[in-house]
């Protein structure tokens, strides 16, 4: 019984790993775009704070 469960888990992972190469690169590109967009937004916020004089200066 326990053997059947492990074989079922193995079979399900095998099908997942066969499908994964079809969309793996697209997921990486999606994450790269999301990180780039948030980096641009964050940089824009920092320049906005500096322009309004809200920059935190430790010295």
Q: Give the per-residue pLDDT at 57.
A: 60
Domain residue spans of the chain:
21-49
The residue with greater pLDDT, 18 or 54, is 18
Q: Using one digit for the tens of pLDDT, what is the confidence trace for 9-35? A: 999 999 988 988 888 789 899 999 999
Cβ(57)–Cβ(51) below 8 Å: no
| Ranges assigned E (strand) in 1-59 | none
Which tokens hold the place of 54? 């809200």
User: What pLDDT score was predicted for residue 11?
Assistant: 93
């Amino acid at each position: 019984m326990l053997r059947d469960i492990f074989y079922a888990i193995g079979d399900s992972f095998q099908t997942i790993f066969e499908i994964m190469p079809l969309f793996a690169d697209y997921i990486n590109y999606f994450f790269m775009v999301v990180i780039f967009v948030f980096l641009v937004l964050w940089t824009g916020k920092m320049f906005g704070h500096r322009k309004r004089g809200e920059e935190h200066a430790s010295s």
